[in-house]
């Protein structure tokens, strides 16, 4: 039986059969090995046992070692390229995925300087126009509606403070949001 067939067989419980490793799983495991090494370097600086008993480094050191071992186990597990998710489709070659990812990271990076409203408006328009291929008009309209809705629900109704930006300062002067 091939690994893909094994995965499609009905197990006694959801995790009864160890699934074959995909390329993505191996990449994650490789990341796990690197993270375990970095974590060990950090944890090794901490005291594992002191005069008053177990120290702050005891559990982190144990965890880093175990994590490295398990990540290596996942890395070495037999693989099967046919079990790649979505038939092995590459997310980085998908325009929608890239736009969504850039929008997410863009907002996270712009938030401290530009506040929430302006980056969210730009991100929504970009997601709809470039990620989904809608018209500029629809993207702009939905961007405005969504941002206004979030401001009214979270800022005005729930009183959630927004990160400071040009738009927030204007909204603050109108009494629509509270200052951060």
Partner 1 sequence: MIDGLLHGFAVLSSWQNLSLCLLGAFLGTVVGVLPGLGPATTIALLLPITLKLDPTGAIILLAGIYYGVAYGGTLTSVLMRIPGEASSVVTCIDGYEMARKGRAGAALGIAAIGSFFASTVGILGVMLLSPPLAELVIAFGPWEYAALMLAGLSLIAFFAASGLAKAGLMALLGLMLGSVGLDPISGTPRFTFGIPELVDGINITPLALGLFGLSELLYLALVKDTKAEILRPPTSLLGFLPSKQEAKRSVAPVLRGSVLGFLVGLLPGGGAVLASFLSYAVEKRLAKRPEEFGRGAVEGVAGPEAANNAGTAGAFIPLLTLGIPSNAVTALLLGALLIHGVQPGPMILERQPEIYWGVIASMYLGNVILLVLNLPLVGLFVRALEIPRRYMAAAILAICVIGVYSTNLATFDVLLAAGFGLLGFALRRGGFDLGPLVLAYVLGPTFERSLRQGLLISDGELGILLERPIALGFILAAIATLAAAVLLRNRARVAD
Q: How far is the CB of 176 from partner 1 (least distance, A)?
A: 14
Q: Is the distance from CB of 132 to CB of 96 less than 8 angstroms?
A: yes
Window 37-96: residues binding partner 1 (CB under 8 A): 38-39, 42-43, 46-47, 49-50, 52-60, 63-64, 66-67, 70-71, 73-74, 77, 85-86, 89, 91, 94, 96
102 binds partner 1 (CB under 8 A): no
Binding partner 1 by CB under 8 A: which of 79, 80, 107, 118? 107
Tell me the C-alpha to C-alpha distance, in Å, between residue 63 and each of 40, 48, 70, 74, 92.
9, 12, 10, 16, 32
152 binds partner 1 (CB under 8 A): no
Q: How far is the CB of 173 from partner 1 (least distance, A)?
A: 20
> What does the block give as tokens for 96?
């929608």
Binding partner 1 by CB under 8 A: which of 122, 154, 172, 176? 154
Rounded-to-integer distance, Cα 66 and Cα 81, Å: 27
122 binds partner 1 (CB under 8 A): no
State which residue, 44 or 170, has the beta carbon closest to partner 1: 44
**CA trace torsion 68, 74, 76, 77 (10° rounding):** 160
Collapsing DSSP to helix, strand or coil, 136 comes out as helix
State which residue, 99 or 167, has the beta carbon closest to partner 1: 99
Cβ neighbours of residue 53 under 8 Å, at least 6 residues apart? Answer: none
Number of residues that bind partner 1 (CB under 8 A): 88
């Amino acid at each position: 039986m091939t690994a893909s067939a094994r995965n499609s067989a009905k197990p006694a419980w959801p995790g009864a059969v160890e699934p074959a490793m995909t390329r993505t799983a191996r990449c994650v495991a490789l990341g796990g090995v690197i993270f375990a090494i970095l974590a060990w370097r950090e944890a090794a600086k901490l005291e594992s046992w002191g005069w008053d008993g177990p120290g702050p480094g005891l559990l982190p050191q144990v965890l880093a070692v175990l994590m490295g071992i398990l990540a290596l186990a996942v890395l070495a597990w037999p693989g099967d390229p046919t079990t790649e998710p979505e038939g092995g489709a590459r997310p980085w070659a998908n325009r929608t995925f890239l736009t969504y990812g850039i929008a997410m990271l863009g907002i996270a990076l712009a938030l401290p300087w530009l506040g929430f409203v302006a980056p969210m408006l730009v991100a929504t328009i970009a997601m709809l126009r470039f990620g989904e291929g809608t018209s500029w008009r629809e993207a702009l309209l939905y961007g405005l509606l969504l941002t206004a809705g979030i401001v009214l629900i979270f800022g005005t109704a729930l009183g959630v403070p927004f990160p400071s930006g040009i738009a927030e300062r204007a909204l603050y002067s109108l009494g629509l949001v509270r200052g951060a």
